[in-house]
Chains A and B, each alone.
Chain A
Amino acid sequence: MNEHGAIRHAEPDGDGAPVGAARERRAQPLTADTVVAIEIREAVAHGHIDTARERFGDLVATHQRRALRIAFQYLRDSAEADEAVQDAFVKAFSHIESYREAWPFEVWFTRILINGCLDRRKARARRERWFAPAEEASIADEARPTFGGNAEPNPEARLLARERRARLAGAIDKLNGRQRTVFVLCHYGDCTPREVSAITGLNESTVRVHLFRAARKLRGLLGGKA
């Protein structure tokens, strides 16, 4: 992982985890999604593509919401986050033969997702260098009605929540690349520092340092309030 948060592809054991950590991880029992991912890999290897697709649908349903949460925190655009998540799932399926069970499928997939989001952020920065940034996406996101019981009860509460989210998004945007990645993965991706270490290729203690710095900076930017 470089200082902008991009995650390296070449790792010591070929699947993104430090060698020692991978060995340690292999001793642990496999998670359910890892078992499914192994089945999909075997099905693809034996040419049972339809079965593999069907099983992969279960993985999509399991990780979809979490993936959207992470992608949206990176991109702050619902449509672009949607595309990033779709791309990540398609990429994961098309490269499922290179998946190794040293780490859970969740870690491997998150790594693909984060790299895709970072690529999109870079592309957006390049676009905005030449063109004025479009406000349509955020306006459309804010204008979208809320569904279910999570909607704020009245317009004032909605307005306050919107302001709070805007402040938080601005504060997260001010973090540097590594801090942002580590914070988003820990707080919005439900990853442990060890998993973040596996995803990013950083040392676990380095992950913790970045996490503390990110939290301290965010609290400072937000004035101690969320």
Chain B
Amino acid sequence: MIGQRHLSDDRLYECFVAAQTGDALDPRAAEHLVDCASCHSRYAEVANVMTALRTDADAEVDALYSADALHAQQSQIARRLEHLGHTAQVISFPRHAPGSMSGQSSRITPRWLAAAAAAGLFVGVGLGSSLQTPAFSSVRRAQAPVTAPAPVAEPRPTAPAPAPVAVPASSPAATAADTDDARDKFMEELEFALSRPRTSELLAFDDLTPHAREISLSTRLQ
């Protein structure tokens, strides 16, 4: 039957594989290949395609892995085999040497210093923010026109004096009020002096810091 019909592609390929691996060809297929020119040319085509595939693959691998690369790989495998029986070495966690204690103590001190400095800064900022409340600002803004007392003595002849405010002498708290008024006057003088054109550059800084008068007023209000 094979002698009459052409060989299928699979049979041709089987013949090729058998020829490549050295196995015995099917005698009837071998005989047909000899007799049939068409099948013979198809077989040659299959063989060419497969041989070209193999040649290409060999060329590619030869190009990628030179003799040096193969030798390097052999050495690498030998190295890996040498270390095969050995357990992995565990590197212990680094400990301080006995002589490094002084260095350790010297490192701790700056840490404490830094912590103390940070704590001080934190407390200072907290206190400053708690003292600079909106009540202070309103008192400060409203204080000048309401409690502006008459100056006891003229600080500067050129400066305009604020309007005096009369305080009744028959009040029971007259003594304490007098003391407060004197203090306020003193503060007013200071503010007046600060508001002069010569020191106007410092007013921006002055606004940033709480005034002693405000602090005293707040203490008194509490």
Contacts of A168 in B (CB 8 A): 53, 56-57
Contact with B along A32-65 (1 / 0, CB 8 A): 0000000000000000010001001100110011
- The main secondary structure of chain B at its interface with chain A is helix
- B14 adjacent to A225 (CB under 8 Å): no
Query: Are B63 and A53 in contact (CB-based, < 8 A)?
Result: no
Given A150-B59, A161-B56: A212 in contact with B14 (beta carbons within 8 A): yes
Residues of chain A lying within 8 A (CB to CB) of residue B141: none
- A10-30 to B contact mask, C-beta < 8 Å, 1/0: 000000000000000000000
Minimal Cβ-Cβ distance residue in B for A171: B53
Residue contact B10 to A93, C-beta cutoff 8 Å: no
Question: Which of B21, B61, B84 has most A Cβ within 10 Å?
Answer: B61
B23 interface residue (CB < 8 Å to A): yes
Stretch at the interface among A100-108, A116-124, A127-135, A141-149: A141-149
Q: Flag if B58 contacts A69 (CB, 8 Å).
A: yes
Interface bracket on B = 35 or more
A212 touches B13 (CB 8 A): yes
A192 to B13, CA, bound (A): 14
* Contact in complex: B61, A65 (CB < 8 Å): yes
The prevalent SS among residues of A at the interface is: helix
Look across to chain B and name the residue whose beta carbon is closest to the beta carbon of A145. B63
Q: How far is the CB of A61 from chain B (nearest CB, A)?
A: 6
User: How many residues does chain A have at the interface if contact means C-beta atoms less than 8 Å apart?
Assistant: 47
Which residues of B sit under 8 angstroms from A8, Cβ to Cβ?
none
Q: Which residue of B lies closest to A66 (CB)?
A: B61
Report how far A96 CA is from B60 CA in the complex, Å: 31
Interface assignment of A4: CB less than 8 Å from any CB of chain B: no
Kindly state whether residue B9 has any CB partner on chain A within 8 Å: yes
| A192 with B21: CB separation less than 8 A | yes
Partner of A148, one of B22, B66, B84: B66
- A residues apposed to B, CB below 8 Å: 49, 53, 56-57, 60-61, 64-65, 68-69, 72-73, 78, 82, 85-86, 89-90, 93-94, 141, 144, 146-148, 150-151, 161, 164-165, 168, 186-188, 192-193, 208, 211-212, 215-216, 218-219, 222, 224-226
The contact sample of 14 A-B pairs, CB cut-off 8 A, is A57-B74, A64-B73, A64-B74, A72-B61, A85-B73, A86-B77, A148-B62, A192-B21, A193-B17, A211-B13, A215-B13, A225-B52, A226-B52, A226-B56
Given contacts A65-B65, A86-B77, 8 further A-B contacts (CB under 8 A): A53-B81, A69-B57, A141-B64, A151-B63, A165-B57, A187-B54, A192-B21, A219-B9
